[in-house]
Amino acid sequence: MAEHRVAVVTGASRGIGRAIATSLAAAGQAVVVGYAGNEVAAKQVVDEITAAGGQAVAAQADVADEDAVAALFDTATRTFGGVDVVVNSAGRMALSPIAELDLDDLDAMHRTNIRGTFVVAREAARRLRPGGAVVLLSTSVVGLQFPGYGGYAASKGAVEAMTLVLARELRGRDITVNAVAPGPTATDLFLEGKDEATIEHLAKQPPLERLGTPADIAAVVAFLAGPGGRWVNGQVVRANGGII
Among 35, 149, 152, 190, the active-site one is 152
Phi, psi of 120, deg, nearest 5: -65, -45
- Amino acid at position 152, single letter: Y
Query: Alpha-carbon distance 105 to 94, whole Å?
Result: 7
Q: Which residues contact 60 (CB under 8 A, 6 or more apart)?
A: 34, 35, 36, 37, 39, 42, 68
Residues 6+ apart with CB under 8 A from 184: 190, 202, 203, 205, 206, 211, 212, 240, 243
- CA 238: distance to chain centroid? 13
Please confirm, yes or no, whether 152 is among the known catalytic residues.
Answer: yes
List strands edge to edge, sheet with 30-35: 56-60, 30-35, 6-10, 85-88, 133-137, 176-180, 236-237
Residues known to be catalytic? 152
